[in-house]
């Protein structure tokens, strides 16, 4: 499934699969946002599949945001696929409401 990102009132909603070939472009996009925004809110509620490279990327982006004193929320704790994939890194996930 192709990856689609929609801005829904400031929450960037990802719909589709985050894996392999789209992780690199996702990295560029979110690194750009972290450099130019004080707050990035990402929803993974509609993600169908996610691989370890995507989990690693999102965990690293979360750490980078903290080091830059930026807000980087990853919403998706109620998505069982996301919760399982993040495993010990689930500390970066937020509840599905702000």
Q: Which CATH number fits domain 4-94: 3.30.750.24, 3.30.1300.10, 3.40.309.10, 3.30.300.30?
A: 3.30.750.24
Two structure tokens written together for 6: 């929609």
Domain limits of the chain? 4-94
- pLDDT tens-digit profile of 27-52? 999 999 999 999 999 999 999 999 99
Residue 74 contacts residue 44 (beta carbons within 8 Å): yes
Question: First and final CA of the chain: distance in angstroms?
Answer: 28
Q: Model pTM?
A: 0.89
pLDDT category, 98, cuts 50, 70, 90? low
């Amino acid at each position: 499934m192709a990856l689609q990102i929609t801005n829904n009132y400031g929450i960037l909603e990802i719909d589709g699969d985050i894996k392999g070939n789209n992780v690199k472009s996702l990295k560029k996009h979110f690194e750009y946002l972290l450099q130019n925004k004080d707050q990035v809110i990402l929803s993974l509620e509609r993600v169908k599949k996610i691989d370890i490279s995507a989990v690693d990327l999102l965990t690293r982006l979360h750490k980078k945001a903290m080091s830059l004193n930026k807000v980087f929320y990853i919403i998706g704790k109620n998505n069982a696929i996301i919760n399982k994939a993040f495993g010990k890194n689930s500390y970066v996930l937020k509840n599905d409401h702000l």
